[in-house]
C-alpha cells in the first residue's frame, strides 16, 4: 500500500507578489520609525531638555509659550509620523510570522494596531493642547498651569508615560520570531529586553525606564 506525499499548498503569483511588497514596505516603515526615534531623542536631549526633564506646571507653561513650533514638530514626529509608519510595519511583521506562529502573530497585530490608535490620539491631543495652553494664559497663569497639567496627564496616560501596549506588541513579535526562527535570534532577544523595559513603565516611578 503506497503512501502519497502531502501536496504542498499552492500559492498564487499574485499572493507571492503582495507578500513581497508588504515586506518591502514594512522594511521602509521600520527605517522611518527608527528615524522618528532618533529625531525625538535628539530634540529631547537638546532643545527640549528642560521640558523633558520635568518642570512644574507654571514653568512648563512658560516653556510651551516660548517653544510652540519645536514642540509641535516633536509631537508630530514622535507620535503621528511614528503612528503612520507603524501601520505597514505591523502588517508586514504579521505576514512574516503568521506562517509558523499564527496565534502569536495575530495577537501581536492586535496590540500593534491598538498602539497605532494610541499614538494618533496622543499626538493630536498634544498638538491641540499646545494652543490650548497658550490661549489659557490669557485667563491667568494659574488657569494655564491647570490646563497644561490636565493635558499632560491625558497625553502621558495614552502613550507618553507608559509603554504597556507597545511593550506587549514588541514582546509578542519577539517571542513569535524566536519560536518561528523568522528573524535573527539576537534581534528577537533584543526585542524582548526592550519590551520588558517598556512594560515596567506601568509601575509608578519607573516611567523613565522605557526612554
Q: Residues 24-33: pLDDT tens digits?
A: 999 999 999 9
Residue 182 has pLDDT above 90, yes or no: no
Alpha-carbon torsion, ordered 7, 22, 166, 112, to 10 deg: -70
CB 111 within 8 A of CB 168: yes
Q: Provide long-range contacts, Cβ within 8 A and 24+ apart, for 22-29.
A: 22/88, 22/91, 22/92, 22/95, 23/92, 23/95, 23/96, 25/88, 25/92, 26/88, 26/89, 26/91, 26/92, 26/93, 26/95, 26/96, 27/92, 28/88, 29/85, 29/86, 29/87, 29/88, 29/89, 29/92
pLDDT of residue 52: 86
Mean pLDDT of 119-144: 93
For residue 115, give the C-alpha cell: 498602539
54-70 pLDDT, tens digit per residue, is 789 999 999 999 999 99
Model pLDDT, residue 105: 96
State the pLDDT at residue 14.
Answer: 55
* Residue 95 predicted with pLDDT over 80: yes
Instruction: Provide the percentage of residues in the chain whose pLDDT is more than 70.
Output: 87
The band of 8, judged by pLDDT with boundaries at 50, 70 and 90, is very low
Q: What is the domain partition of the chain in residue ranges?
A: 20-162
Nearest to 59 by CA among 71, 67, 51, 48: 51
- Please tell me the least confidently modeled range out of 119-128, 135-144, 158-167, 186-195: 158-167
Q: What pLDDT band is residue 208 in, cutting at 50, 70 and 90? A: low
SS3 annotation, 5-68: CCCCCCCCHHHHHHHHHHHHHHHHHHHHHHHHHHHHHHHHHCCCHHHHCCCCHHHHHHHHHHCH
Amino acid at each position: 500500500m503506497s503512501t502519497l506525499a502531502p501536496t504542498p499548498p499552492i500559492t498564487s503569483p499574485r499572493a507571492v507578489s503582495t507578500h513581497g511588497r508588504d515586506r518591502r514596505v514594512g522594511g521602509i516603515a521600520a527605517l522611518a520609525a527608527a528615524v522618528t526615534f532618533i529625531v525625538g531623542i535628539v530634540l529631547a536631549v537638546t532643545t527640549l531638555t528642560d521640558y523633558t526633564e520635568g518642570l512644574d506646571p507654571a514653568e512648563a507653561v512658560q516653556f510651551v509659550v516660548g517653544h510652540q513650533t519645536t514642540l509641535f514638530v516633536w509631537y508630530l514626529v514622535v507620535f503621528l509620523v511614528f503612528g503612520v509608519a507603524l501601520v505597514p510595519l505591523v502588517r508586514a511583521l504579521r505576514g512574516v510570522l503568521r506562517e509558523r506562529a499564527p496565534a502569536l502573530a495575530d495577537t501581536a497585530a492586535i496590540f500593534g494596531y491598538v498602539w497605532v490608535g494610541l499614538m494618533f490620539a496622543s499626538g493630536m491631543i498634544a498638538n491641540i493642547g499646545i494652543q490650548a495652553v497658550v490661549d489659557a494664559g490669557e485667563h491667568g497663569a494659574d488657569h494655564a498651569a491647570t490646563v497644561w497639567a490636565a493635558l499632560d496627564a491625558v497625553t502621558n496616560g495614552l502613550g507618553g508615560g507608559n509603554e504597556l501596549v507597545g511593550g506587549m506588541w514588541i514582546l509578542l513579535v519577539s517571542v513569535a520570531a524566536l519560536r518561528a526562527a523568522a528573524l535573527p535570534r539576537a534581534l528577537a532577544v533584543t526585542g524582548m529586553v526592550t519590551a520588558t523595559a517598556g512594560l515596567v513603565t506601568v509601575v509608578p516611578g519607573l516611567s523613565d525606564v522605557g526612554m
